[in-house]
Amino acid sequence: MIGDIGMEARPDSWRDVESLVERLPRRFRDTAQAEAFLSGGLTAEEAEYFRLCLSEDRPPKWLFSPKAVVETVRLGRARDWLKLAPKIDCPVLLVRGQNSTELSCKEARRMMGGFKQGTFAEIPGAGHELHLERSGPFVRTVAAWLNGIHTASVST
């Protein structure tokens, strides 16, 4: 299963992620400080996402490694992986968020053209973080595919 990420090289895309991650405080004194940052230091969309990325600990902590996020994007997008698609023999589910800014319709079509056993699904109203933004439709889509409903597309 590939969740709203492309296979084409985007060697500089990690810089945007690094810029965003660098704005995040490394730690918070308490929940009030975390909420103050989320409410004032980010766009509404970013704040909504990063609220989901905070632990319920007191004080709250990030549930991810900022360094690992940047490095994953840097290495994952450093080269073009599209030429490997035809070499993938197993079934592949490609799930795209309808409002994604990460995976374009054009790139998704190119990817689907390369897979031997590809299924495409698009989650309405979701962006790149489709598993967080529209978790119900995302889970139903993946579960249907895993349970053997392999069609040309899966509707949600």
Q: Which two tokens stand for residue 42?
A: 């980010």
More confident residue, 48 or 72: 72
On the 0-12 / 13-18 / 19+ scale of CB atoms within 10 A, 66 is middle
Which domains are assigned to the chain?
2-7+81-154 (3.40.50.1820), 13-75 (no CATH)
pTM here is 0.77
Kindly report which listed range (35-39, 41-45, 68-72, 135-139) carries the lowest average pLDDT score: 41-45
Q: Which residue has the tokens 């997008």?
A: 77
Cα-to-chain-centroid distance, residue 78: 17
* Residue 154, pLDDT above cutoff 70: no
Identify the pLDDT of residue 152: 44
